[in-house]
Each structure stands twice: as C-alpha cells, then as structure tokens.
Structure 1
Amino acid sequence: MCGVSLDAETWLYRDMRTILDRLVRRPEFAEEISRLKLRPRKVVAEVAEDPAVLAGARHAYESLASERQALDAHGRREPIGWPLNWQPDAFERRMLLAIPCVLVVWVAAVVLFGSWLPGVVELSLLIAVVLIVGVLARLGLPDTVWSWLRWKRDHTMLAMGLPVSRWDRRQVLRDEVLVPELREWLNRQTQPSFELTLELRDATGLTMPPRQGALVQTDAVEACRREVNRDYPGAVGLAGTRGAGKTTIAERAARDEFTDSGRLPVLGVLTSAPVRYDARDFILHLHTCVCRAVLDFLAESGEESETRQQWSRLLRRHRIRAMIGALLRIVLSIGTKLGLALGAATLAWGWPPNPALLGGFVRNLASDPEEFFRTISWSDVWVVLGLLPVFVAALDFVIVLLWAVTKGISRAVRRLHGWLSNDRISSQLEALRALAHQQLRSIRFLQTHTSGWSGKVSVPSGTDMSMTRSLAKAEQPWTHPEVVGRLRDFFELSIDVLANQISGIVVTIDDVDKIADPDEAHQFLNEIKGVFGVPHCLFLVSVSDDALTSFERRGIPARDAFDSAFTSMINVRPFTLEQSRTWLAHRALGIPEPFVWLCHCMSGGLPRDLGRVALTLYDLQRDHSQLSSVTHAMLAQDLDIKTRAFAQTAKPLPRTGDDDPHTLIKHLSNVPLNYHLDLASLAQRIWPDTDSPLDTELARLRAEVACYLVFCQTIAEIFHDQLDPVGKVDAVTALAKVRQHMALDTPLAWNVLMDFRAALNLADQPGVCMACDLTKRASGQLWNSSTD
C-alpha cells in the first residue's frame, strides 16, 4: 500500500478540519466543549494535530492516496495525440475525404426525403452513418490519435472515480476515526470526575457491539501488527481466556487494519472451528473459504462481493418480473376503465357509439377546457367522469414505463462504463477466477466424465452391423494429502497472480479454544498444520491458555502439537483499568470514574463482558443515576441471569452422599435480587459441607455459587453513595482479578476474594461476619488440596 501522497495529505487535512468543524457543532460534543470552557476552533486544531488521530486518518486515506498516485502516474503517461510530421498516404486521404461525402449524402437524404421517411428508418440511417464515419476515421487517422483517445477515456474514468472514493473515505474517517477519537480527546481534557451521579452526555457509542469501533491499543494488538507485517510465513496462536478479544484482533487483522503504510493490503480469510472437525473436512472447508475470498476480491464491480453480485442478479430478475406484472395490471386497468368510459358515452349519446363524436369531444376538452366546462351538458359530465380514470391509469402507465426505461438506460451506461473502463481484470485474474469456481465445484460435487464413440454399417441385404464403445470416469474424493497439497498450491498460485495487488494472505481460524477435549484440540492442530508455512501466508489461530503454557515450555523434551505448529504465540490479556477506561471513552462522554470502576470490576476487564456491562449501563441510566442505585440495579439483573443458569446446571447433577442438587436449587430460589448486603450468609449455607477437596461436580458448582454471591456482596459494599475514591484503584484492580479467576479457578478466586475483604475490613460490616467462617473453611480446603 502506497504512502499518503502530497495531494491526498492536503485532502486529508482539509477533510479532517471540515468534519471536525461539523462534529464540534453536534449537541453532544458542543455541550461537552462548553462545559470544559474550550473554544471549538482550538478543539478542532488540536485534535487535527494529535499524532494518534493523524495515524488513524492516514490509514483511512491510504486507498485514496493510491488512487491519486495511479491517476498522476497515468497522467504522466499521456501519449502524443497528433504527430507533427504525419503525412497521410493515398489510402488514408481517400478515407478522410470519404467522411464529408458520407455526411453530405446523409444531410441531403434527410432534407429531401425526411418528410415522408418513417422515424425508424431515419434512426437506422443515423446509426449507419455514425458507424461508417467511425470506420473511415479509424482507417484514415494515425494510430496515435486512437491511442490518445483511449488514454483520455481511461484518464477520465480514473478522475471520475476519485471523488466517489473520497466521499466513501470521508464517511470512514468520520465514523471510525474522528468521532471516537474526539470523544477520547475530550475525556482526556478534564480531570477524572469522581461524581457519584451518572449523567451521560453522549452514550450512543455504548450500544455499539464490542468488536466495532476504535480498537484499544494493547500489547497483543501491537504483537499481531508485527506478525502481519513480517515477510516470512508463519502460524501464530492467539491465546487467552474467552472474551479477551482474540476474535476481534483476528478479524481486524483479516480486514487489513494492521498493515503498515508502504505495503500492499492483505487478503483476509475468516473461518472458525468451534467443534471437532474431521481434518480433511475442515481443510476442504478452508479451501472453500479461500476460493470465496479470492472471488470476492476479484468481484467485477470492485465494490460488491461475489455473493452480493449473485443477489443483485436475482434481484434484477425479480424486479423485471414485477415490473412486467405491474405494466400488465395497468394495461388491464386501462382496458377496463376504457370500457366503462365507452359505456358511459353510450349511455349519454346513445347506441351505436360514434367514434367521431367521441374524438371531437376529446379535442374540444383539450383545446379549450374553460369554454368546454362553461357549456358542458349533463350527458357530457358522465363522459368526463368516465374518461378521468382512463387518464389517471394512462398516466400511471407512462410513469412506470418511463421509470423502467430510465433504469434500463442507467444500467446500460454502468455496464458500458465497466466495459470501457481500464479497471477490467486481466486474463491472469480472469483465469484465477475461473480456477476458483472450478475448485469450488470440485469440492462440492463428485464429477463423472463420460466419453465414447459408436458406429453403424448397413449392407444391401438388409443386415445391420453396429459397434459401440464408451468410457466413464468417476472422480474419486481427494485423500487428505491431496487436499492439503491442493490447498497449498492454490494459496501459492493466488499470491503469485495477485502479487501486484496484495502483500499476502491472512487466514484466521477462530474458536479452536472451544473444542472441549484438549487431546482433540491437539489432534486437530496436528492434522491441519500441513497447510501452514506457505510463503506470504499468515495463519492466526485462537487457542486456549493451555496452548500458551505448552508453547512457552518449548525447548524441553516435552513437546506437543502447539509447540510444533506455531512460530509464535500472542497472549491476549484482559484489559487493564486504564484500557477499560479508554474503551469506554471511545464510546461515551461523561462517565465518572466510580462508574468506570464498576464496569471494570463487573466485567473483569474482558472486552466482551465490558461491552455487555456498558450496554446494561446505557439501559439503566434512564431510571438510575446514583452510584448505589446503578450498582444494585446492575447486580439485580446479573443475579437474575446467573441464578437461573446455576439452577439449570444443577438439575441434571446426581446426588452425592448427603448432598442433593435440589437443596442448591432451593437456595438459589431464595437469592434476594433487590438486597445484596446479606448474600454471604446464604453463601455459607451453599458452600459444600465437606472438608475434602472439591472433587465432585456438585461440590464445585456449590463453590462457584458461593463465590459469586460473596463477590456480588463485595461489589455492593464498595460501590455505594458514600464511596471514598482515595486508594480505591488498587482495590478495583484486585476485584477485577477476582472476577477473572472466577471463570478459571474457583478456589483461587475465593482465596483472593477473602484476602481482599480482609484487607478492606469488609468483614466488620453488617451481614458480612459469616464470611469469616467461610474463609476458614475455604482456607482449610485449599490447604488440604495443596497437601494432597
């Protein structure tokens, strides 16, 4: 991808300032700027010069810069239109002299015979004259003239496409760069607010899905950006807990958001493996995804994918059918209404109908409507009322017909533009498109080829002799090595053919961490890693934390599939408090620090959960404004969802000794949704009544429920209307760690939570003293499990 040219840089600064001038006048931004006592012009100037904003804006305008450079390069290749020393030979002079002769003959024919020639004949003569003049000019003029005309056509097409591309880039610049960056910049201009009242001034961004919007720059994002811009082949594992953002990073890489300036874009292929696939079937599925990605990249319009083009063709077919049906209905309506009008005329003027009388009636009505209506009779009124629906129906018919003709002409002009444009794909790209279609058919269908010959000989005696021979070939399914080999060949061929358009291919294989059995995940990677290692092809695979641990143990005798399959591993960690604050600042203005802390603790810093908590905050801010009210409302919603999920999980569990899952379900039904300062007493009754390690599924579920209830009570005890923000940052970070541990290791989460409560003296508050006994019991179990 080319760097931003001087003209594109000028456009960029101009568009940035124009868009920012409009944004600062939006009510949500204008109110915040006024509250901060800033001048809008100063805001525009400083945001436009911010390095982070400029980097994102330049990335958004890189494609426009490439088009501008292509236009400039094409302009420098302008050929000579008319050679100065050109002298036509005898044949060329005859061709050029024939042109005015043809024109004179045509003009004379129109003048002499135009009065009685049909219009169709005149149009045919005009088309013939244009074609003849074009052929004569082609034969008589030098080749340089036609080369210059072709250059001028292509240059005009490029120049016409540049404003359209600039308009598209402006929308991307506004929505994906300037709006979130302006929100974050305004949030940085104010001191952190520790208000305990929630007053969101621009909260529409909170409804945005977590994977959309500005990307928070984390260590994992930077590591992935480095991998995308390397030249050697690689397979990179994205390891982390579920919801940490592995899918978002992989999708952004496949969407060419990590490619450096100066490099061509990458071709992204998105696929997933959420369940255990047969390796051969998955590689065939991956082959299909690659073929479709290539077809989308080679889409003829350059703007629509192959699927969109198929949909457009079907849509045009159905629209034509609908338009024909509408025209037929209008014609039928006109006929019916015309019959009614003739019936009214017959009743008014008698039978049989007189066409001359009706024609004179219509002429009088059209020539002098005022005089006609002044002298109209009652019999004429019936005819006028009968003709009125006919006129309306005829007008509808003309409008529909003109609309259809206009659409047809517009479509024809677009097709002619595409045919004449220099953007038509070359024969190499056309062959690659045909190969992709062919391989898609080979993957989907078992093919059978039949060939043969037959002959027949008849003799005079009436005896016939015939011979037939045929050969049928049925294509066998590809074996696993053939599947791998063909996919690698297609990767290499696609990269070679598209070498001037892409810098490589990025393939994302998502959801491998969702394969439940680690052994199956190991086997799956062992079976598909044969496709890794293609030059200029990067594979991004989302894996579990166990894969990261195994990879980091490389170099010791214990090697596994993760160590041998990946060239590197990226650890995708949950957000820190600062990163959660940045994520929220991209989406809303006016979130005070206590509410940022609340969102971070409830989500544990996981981007997916942070998006859900932010959406809940957006829904609650209409009815709840105080910190305590928002906290209890958020906990009530979360408790309602979690207790139902715990109860559904407990139902199928078997009874273990004296422990009955129905007892746990009964306790869950007694969880108070509106009062959260006495949940620890219920947690004491739910915690498994055993001194042995948590070795049964029911005991582990009880521990999860008890830990979750104490966590909710801790949230309610910290985030109240008398919150003192001094020294709470470390506490918020620790509580978010507890939330992260709850999804992975319940005893560890319990231990950290109890230490946290003891450090903040929460055990001295009402309703929490029972947690001390839980701490002792949990500590004893942890001690027993560690000694075992």
Structure 2
Amino acid sequence: MITFLSWEPLYTLAGQEPEGSPLRRACFTIGHRIQAAAADSAAWEMENLRTWEGSAMASMVFPAVPGTADPGLERVATDDVVGAGLAELCARTDDLAVECLEQISGWSGAENLPYGGTFHLMRTETASSAVTAGAPQLLTTHTASLSTLPPNFPELVSDFRDLLTRIAAEQHRREERVVIAIDELDRLGSDTGALAFLNEIKAILGVRHVHYLISVAEDVGASFVRRGLPHRGVTDSSLDDIVHVLPCTLEESKRILGRRASGLSEPYKVLTHALSGGIPRDLIRYGLRLDEITSKTQLIELTDISSQLILEELADTLAGFRTLLSKQQWTPRTSVLLIAFRNLTGHLRAGCPCVSPELRRALEHVAFHDLHRHLGEEAAAEIPDVTRNLIDEASAYVLFSLTLLDVFGEGDLARRRDEAASRGPEGDLDLLGQARQELEVSPYSARQLIGSIRTAWRFADGPAAGLPPTVPPARSPDCPRHPRPATRELRPS
C-alpha cells in the first residue's frame, strides 16, 4: 500500500489567509512541492509495478496517482518569504496549523524545516472532570496545546555544517570559494571573551572548501599570536594562520590618500599619517577633515590649516583625559593639576589656528610637566600611581601635538625637512607616525622617540626659560589674523 503526505491542509490554510501574506505564500509553495514530490514518486512506483505485468503476481491494484490540478504552482514564493511564513506557522497552535506542521515535518525527512528553520513539536493534552450540583452530571473537558522547543546545540551545529557543505560543494563546482568573515571580534570586550567565542565556533570550522576570515583589534588579539607560548591554546588548534596587519608606512598612507582624498598635497598627507599613526580608518578620517576645513573656512595656508586640525584633535583628546582624571581622588594641593588641564582646554577652545605665546606656554607647561616642581615633594607624593600614569599619558600626547605644531605650523617646511633629514634618521617624517603608534604602547618610550625627533629638527627639549608654575588663563578669543564671523544680534519684534 502506497501513501503520500497530504498537501491539502496547506492549501486549506493558505485559502484562509490574506492575499499576499507570507504564511499564505509559504503554504502554497510547500504544498506545491509536496504534491510535485508525490507525483514523481507515484510515477516511479507505477513504472516499477509495470515490470511485474504478465507474471504470476501481476494481479494487483495500481496506486492512486495525485491529481495534476495544483493551485500552488502559480504561487511559489522565494525562500525568504517562505521562511517568514514558516516562522508565523510555528507560532500557531490551532489544529489546522498543527496538521500542516506535521505534513511539513514528514516531507522534510525529519523535523528539519527547509529554508533554514528547525522545529520540534510538543503536544500537551489535559483533561478535567467535575460533578455538577443538583441533578448529578459528570462534565468532562479536554484541552490540547502545541508548543515549539528550541533545537539543541549539536543539532544546530550539524544542520549548519550540512548547509555549508552543500553551499561549498556547489561553489566549488563553479570554481569559486566560500568565505565567511567575522569582523571586530574585539567588540566582545576582552581577549578572554574573544577566545571563548572562538572556542564556541570551533565546531563549525573545518568544512571542506569553506574559509573563515576573523579580524580582531591588536589590543585584544595580542594573545592570539603567542604561537603556543607558554602552552598551546584555542587559536593554535583552530586557526591555520594568524596575520598581523601592521599600520601603514608613510608611503602606503600616501597611496591610500591618493585614492580616497586625491585633493591633498604632499604635506597634508604627511600630517594625516602622523596624526593617524598609519591606521587606515583614522587616516581617511583626517584626510576628509582636512578637506572640510579647506572648504568651510577661509584658511588657505598650510600652517593655518595644519594648526587648526592639530589643535582640534588635541582639544578632543584632552577632553577625554579630563573625564578620566575627574574620576580620580584629589586633594586641595593636587587639584592644581586639574586647573592646569582646564586652563589649557580653555586656550584650545578659542578655535583659532594661531599658536600665540600664551598657548605655547600652556602647551609647554603640560608637555614638560614636572610634578615635583609644580606641586612640591609632599603634594607630589599624594598622587596615586593610576593618576600619575594618566597625567604622563596626557603629557606625552601634548608633547606629540606640540611637535606637530612645530613641524607643520611654521613656514618653509621643505627646507627644514631636508635639514632635519641630513642630521640623521630621526629627522625622517615617517618617524612622526611611529611616535603616534608608540603613544599607544607607553608614554615613556613615546616621549623618548619624540625627544629624538625634536633634537633632529632643532626644537627645544624643555620649557622656555621663565615658564610660570601654572598654566596661564585662557587667551582672548579675538585674533587680528583670524577674526570670528560677525554675529547678528537678535531683538524681540
């Protein structure tokens, strides 16, 4: 006896749904495919049975062949629409929906939905009886409910590997490859979280003709590249190779900017490389910001445009350090450091690219800071190590910014560049980008590299004589060279 799965419940349910709804289209599509599969199976069985004709066993009843009228044929939907409809169907508990799910389950071979879904059915039936008051009557009620259970992890892994295997086999026949990219693994927060995630996905690695490309930031991914030291970890057993992508060199940065910000001239490319440390994303951001400054301001000189960008970046960075420093413990004697940072921020808020004598003294005060000279021995001893490290980091960045201002904020850059390069490798402009990179490693090693650069360029390696013990108050916002646009006073009508 030959039986077929029924597509009629699917067509019945589809007829009850609104025209064009995902559930209606999904039921018609799957119903059509069940009916088509049944027709193919019946045709095969008929052909097989005909081979018995004329034999002693030829007296038999041929199976009923499914009809050819198929209302679902013209309503076949795409896989994404069918997937949405199946999700809606799995949420329903009425008898017709349950019957449709049972037919789909039998058609798909198990309980693995086509179109990427998986479901398990669990039917719960309850019965209750009661005797009424008065004339005795026995009342019995029955209820049934349907719920879906999430698939377990091994099933998900098996289904996903099977899917990848089929996709990869098809692409391989076309002489193409399957690459799955997992970007920004560092967003998990720590190297521990990233390694735990990598350990979780090991189960889906190793599918033939499927390649994984996993990216992680250097600060989190450093533990990935220990190469089995002191012991082998999950990265050694999961990844075929680990490629450390280094920051761009100056020449590489120039080539990137030539494609993404082609209007920048040579000095601006060097400046953006120095500010970004050769990180492509920051490199492009600074390049676009230079274009914006040029188009939206009246600045035209290299010295003014460069100083504007350097001072803007310094102001943003110091604002971040101020927030971090505000969370530390301070005393009346040590709080003068906060006042110094506040006054320097006030100088930068003026928005003028000119490096006035007041601004330079403020920058030198922080860049060449000396806690013992500024606070005294007893007050300096009150600074916790965490706070001291933050101050040293901020001071090193101010020194880096001051060096950029000295390089790009003065005229005749070409001549000064050649003179610095003639004094040794420390005069190479590429070292400015390396100094920016070193700031992310340690403020102390970065300060040493910046000092060698300043020596090659004949910049001062300490504060000017007569530097006051505190940062002077913020300068006047009015600048004769770069006056602010006039504002119109608003008066009530």
Structure 2 residue matching 1:734: 3-state secondary structure: helix
How far has the Cα of 1:438 moved from its partner? 2.5
Q: CA deviation at 1:749?
A: 1.4
For residue 478 of structure 1, what is the aligned residue in structure 2?
A: 151
SS at 2:150's partner residue? coil
Does residue 1:651 correspond to 2:338, yes or no?
no
Aligned to 1:596, the other structure's residue is in SS state helix
SS in 2 for 1:570: coil
Q: Which amino acid in structure 1 is aligned with residue 450 of structure 2?
A: L
Query: Structure 1 residue 761: deviation in Å?
Result: 2.6
- Which shifted more, 668-677 or 759-768? 759-768
Indicate if the aligned counterparts of 1:681 and 1:768 stay in contact, CA closer than 8 A.
no
* Cα distance in 2, alignment partners of residues 637 and 554 from structure 1: 41
Alignment counterpart, residue 314 of structure 2, candidates 634, 639, 653? 639
1:525-548 CA-to-partner distances (Å, cap 9, x unmatched) read 222222211112111111243676
Cα deviation digits, residues 222-279 of structure 1 (max 9, x gap): xxxxxxxxxxxxxxxxxxxxxxxxxxxxxxxxxxxxxxxxxxxxxxxxxxxxxxxxxx
CA drift at 1:733: 1.1
Residue 680 in 1 paired to residue 359 in 2? no
| Corresponding residue for residue 711 of structure 1 | 400
Alignment of 1:277-426 (within 5 A): none
Distance 1:747 1:764, change over 3 A: closer
Distance 2:123 2:154 in 1: 27
2:281 to 592, 604, 608: 608
Q: Aligned to 2:327, what secondary structure does the other structure show?
A: coil
* Structure-2 residue corresponding to 1:749: 446
Q: 2:434 is matched with which residue?
A: 737
Contact persistence 1:683–1:707 (CA under 8 A): yes
Alignment of 1:131-146 (within 5 A): none
1 CA distance for matches of 2:336 and 2:343?
11
Q: Deviations over 1:20-68 (max 9, x none)?
A: xxxxxxxxxxxxxxxxxxxxxxxxxxxxxxxxxxxxxxxxxxxxxxxxx
Offset at residue 599 of structure 1 (A): 1.4
Question: For each residue in 1:101-123, what CA deviation from the matched residue of structure 2 results, as whole angstroms up to 9, or x when unmatched?
Answer: xxxxxxxxxxxxxxxxxxxxxxx
User: What is the CA–CA distance in structure 2 between the aligned matches of 1:647 and 1:556, rounded to whole Å?
Assistant: 39
Please, which of 759, 778, 781 is the counterpart of residue 456 of structure 2?
759
Match in the other structure for 2:35: none
Partner of 1:533: 206
Q: Which amino acid aligns with 1:742?
A: L
Please state how far the C-alpha of 1:492 moved relative to its aligned partner. 1.6
How many Å apart are 1:468 and its aligned residue? 9.5
User: What residue in structure 1 maps to residue 411 of structure 2?
Assistant: 721
Give percent identity, aligned residues only. Answer: 25
Q: State the alpha-carbon separation in 2 of the partners of residues 529 and 663 from structure 1.
A: 54
CA gap 1:686/1:561 in 2 versus in 1, 3 angstroms: farther
Residue 510 of structure 1 corresponds to which residue in structure 2? 183
Q: 2:320 and 2:199 mapped to 1: Cα distance? A: 36
Q: Output one character per residue of 1:475-527: Cα deviation in whole Å (capped at 9) or x when no partner.
A: 43333333333322222233345555573322222222233332233222222
Equivalent residue letter for 1:517: S
CA distance in structure 1 between the aligned counterparts of 2:461 and 2:437, rounded to whole angstroms = 26
Contact 1:667 1:686 in 2 (8 A): no
Q: Does 1:438 align with 2:135?
A: no
Deviation at residue 601 of structure 1 after TM alignment: 0.9
Retained in 1: the 8 A contact 2:181–2:212? yes
Which structure is higher in RCO with an 8 Å CA cutoff and minimum separation 6? 1
Q: For 1:74-223, what aligned pairs fall within 5 Å after superposition? A: none
Q: Is the 8 A contact 1:683 1:706 kept in 2?
A: yes
Cα deviation digits, residues 376-407 of structure 1 (max 9, x gap): xxxxxxxxxxxxxxxxxxxxxxxxxxxxxxxx
* 1-structure distance, mates of 2:232, 2:402: 44
SS in structure 2 of the partner of residue 614 of structure 1: helix
Matched with 1:591 is: 264
SS in 2 for 1:538: strand
> Quick one: distance in 1 between partners of 2:190 and 2:261?
41
Shift of 1:586: 1.3
Q: 1:658 to 1:505 in 2, by over 3 A?
A: farther
SS of aligned partner of 1:571: coil
Counterpart in the other structure of 2:96: none
Against the structure 1 CA distance between its residues 697 and 486, is the aligned structure 2 distance closer, same or farther, given a 3 Å change threshold?
Answer: farther
Write the distance in 2 (CA, Å) between the matches of 1:530 and 1:744: 35
1:626 and 2:301 aligned: yes
**SS of match in other structure, 1:554:** coil
**Partner residue of 1:403?**
none
Corresponding residue SS for 1:763:
coil
Q: Give the conservation status (yes or no) of the 8 Å contact 2:191–2:221.
A: no
Deviations 1:82-105 (A, max 9, x none): xxxxxxxxxxxxxxxxxxxxxxxx
**Conserved 8 A contact 2:157-2:204:** yes
Residue 659 to residue 766, structure 1, CA distance change in 2 (3 Å): closer
User: Structure 2 CA distance, aligned partners of 1:480 and 1:717?
Assistant: 60
Native 8 Å contact 2:273 2:283 kept in 1 = yes
Amino acid of the structure 1 residue aligned with 2:441? L
CA shift digits 1:622-654 (9 cap, x unpaired): 322212111211122112212222212222223
- Retained in 1: the 8 A contact 2:269–2:287? no
Q: Quote the residue 1:22 is aligned against.
A: none
Q: Deviations over 1:145-182 (max 9, x none)?
A: xxxxxxxxxxxxxxxxxxxxxxxxxxxxxxxxxxxxxx
Matched, 1:559 2:243: no
Letter in 1 for 2:399: V
3-state secondary structure, aligned to 2:151:
coil
Aligned match of 1:494? 167
The question of whether the paired residues in 1 share the 8 Å contact of 2:264 and 2:287 is answered with: no
Cα distance in 2, alignment partners of residues 485 and 663 from structure 1: 64
Q: Is the 8 A contact 1:681 1:767 kept in 2?
A: no
Unmatched tracts of structure 1, length 5 or more: 1-298, 311-432, 455-463, 771-788
After superposition, give the CA deviation of every residue in 1:574-615 in whole Å (9 maximum; x if it has no partner).
Answer: 111111111111134453322221111111111111112111
The residue type paired with residue 571 of structure 1 is: H
- Name whichever structure is richer in helix by fraction: 1
Offset, 1:554: 2.7
> What CA deviation, in whole Å up to 9, does each residue of 1:457-479 have, x standing for no partner?
xxxxxxx9999999866443333
CA contact (8 A) 1:632 1:716 kept: yes
**Against the structure 1 CA distance between its residues 494 and 764, is the aligned structure 2 distance closer, same or farther, given a 3 Å change threshold?**
closer
Aligned mates of 2:153, 2:252 — CA distance in 1: 45
Instruction: State how many pairs are aligned.
Output: 331
* 1:146 corresponding residue in structure 2: none
- Residue 568 of structure 1, CA deviation: 0.5
Per the TM alignment, residue 762 of structure 1 is displaced from its structure 2 partner at its CA by: 1.2
- Structure 1 residue 768, shift from structure 2 partner: 8.9
Task: Specify whether residues 746 and 687 from structure 1 end up closer, same or farther in structure 2 by C-alpha distance, changes over 3 A only.
Answer: farther
Structure 2 vs 1, CA of residues 502 and 624 (structure 1 numbering), >3 Å: closer, same or farther?
farther
Matched position secondary structure for 2:431: helix
Task: Indicate if the aligned counterparts of 1:513 and 1:544 stay in contact, CA closer than 8 A.
Answer: yes
- 2:114 alignment partner, SS class: helix
8 Å CA contact 1:650, 1:664 repeated in 2? no
TM-score, length of structure 1 as denominator length: 0.37
CA distance in 1, matches of 2:206, 2:249: 34
Structure-2 separation of matches of 1:472 and 1:589 = 66
